Amino acid sequence: MIYLFYGENEFEKRQSIAKLIGNEKAARHDGEDLTLAGMQEIAIGQTLFMNSSVYLISRLSENSEIWSQIPDIKFDDDRMIILVEDKIDKRTKTYKWLQKNAKVQEFSPLSDRQKPQLLKWCVAEAKVRECELTNRQAEIIVDRLGFDQLRLSNFLDQLALAEKVTDDLIDNFIPLARTENVFDLFISALAGDYDKVHDIISYLESESGADGAYQTMGLLASQATNLTALVLADGDSKLVASDFSANPYVLRKLTSSTKGIDKEKLKRIDDALLRADLQMKTTSVNPWLLMEVALVGIGKYTKE
């Protein structure tokens, strides 16, 4: 029997393969390195590599010579051949043939809509590892690591080695990503929290040096765009998320900062960032200092 497992959800894909194979020992092959003769040998007889009836072949679709001839190869019914792919061209003759002659299953990555489901999964997986994880801690982990279940699973394996899971422990394992630090930086500037602005900039500068300032300015410009959209949409984060394909979670957190900000203040905020960006590119002054001055100025505008 032939199986085709494809998709970017590597965790679910591996779980399904393990369940299918059970205790059987599988002969594993990289499809890119296979020859047509080697593939035919797997399909109809014993291979030179292993005496097995289960064969796991990855990335065979990248071997165009073999992939195009799969429909013409005779396969014995007594052997299990599992084709494993990340992405696949559904327009090919071979994919259409596999749909009719194999068991095909797609494993799609989880989306933002499935976040509640993923949080429950994290808590449950932690319990399997005899590790207590709160819903809030699970959300912190997902927000920082993303929706990749394999990556999350590996992190939970590491977390389970600790005697007790604390917020500080999670921070040490997975510090805030740059985008989150920049989000906090922008929020702090709008709130006029100059000490926090200074602390975050000092941290980002120590982590990425002078070159990191230019990427950070680009992220700040993106946050300013989100703020402008929210103000003009009267704080309707769902509408902005739909129109700009922005992260709904980030927009909801930013919404509270729109209070008291009108078009005039938006213009002053944008002008401050634009001026700092120009100075960063045309002067020899420390770019982080120029950015901090601009953000402090933004805080003063919003407090007027």
Q: Can you identify the CATH homologous superfamily of domain 2-106?
A: P-loop containing nucleotide triphosphate hydrolases (3.40.50.300)
Which pLDDT belongs to residue 157? 93
Name, in order, each residue with C-beta under 8 angstroms of 41's C-beta and a sequence gap of 6 or more: 47, 48
The average confidence (pLDDT) of the chain is 87
Which pLDDT belongs to residue 303? 73
Cβ neighbour number for residue 146 with a 10 Å cutoff: 14
Pairwise CA distance, residues 44 & 243, whole Å: 54
- Give me the residues paired with residue 83 across strands: 4, 57
What region, left, alpha or beta, does residue 201 occupy, with left being phi > 0 and alpha being psi -120 to 50 degrees? alpha
Percent of the chain with pLDDT over 70: 93
Pairwise CA distance, residues 127 & 7, whole Å: 27
Pick the CATH number of 112-173 from 1.10.3470, 1.10.287, 1.10.10, 1.10.8: 1.10.8
Classify 57 as helix, strand or coil: strand
pLDDT at 257 over 90: no
Region(s) of the chain under CATH 3.40.50.300 = 2-106
pLDDT in tens, 110-166: 887 898 999 999 999 999 999 999 999 998 888 778 888 998 999 999 899 988 898
Pairwise CA distance, residues 294 & 57, whole Å: 55
Mean pLDDT for the stretch of residues 201-221: 86
Least confident of 44-48, 77-81, 193-197, 277-281: 44-48
Region(s) of the chain under CATH 1.20.272.10 = 178-303
Of 177, 191, 213, 4, which is closest to residue 89 (Cα–Cα)?
A: 4
Burial of 86-122, coded b for 16+ CB within 10 Å and e otherwise, reads eebeeebebbeebeeebebeebeebeeeebeebbebb
Pairwise CA distance, residues 273 & 290, whole Å: 10
User: Confidence class of residue 58 from pLDDT cuts 50, 70 and 90?
Assistant: very high
- Give me the residues paired with residue 104 across strands: 4
pLDDT at 208 over 70: yes
Which pLDDT belongs to residue 177? 58
Name, in order, each residue with C-beta under 8 angstroms of 86's C-beta and a sequence gap of 6 or more: 6, 7, 8, 59
Question: What would the CATH number be for the domain defined by 178-303?
Answer: 1.20.272.10
pLDDT at 49 over 70: no
pLDDT at 270 over 80: yes
Pairwise CA distance, residues 66 & 191, whole Å: 61
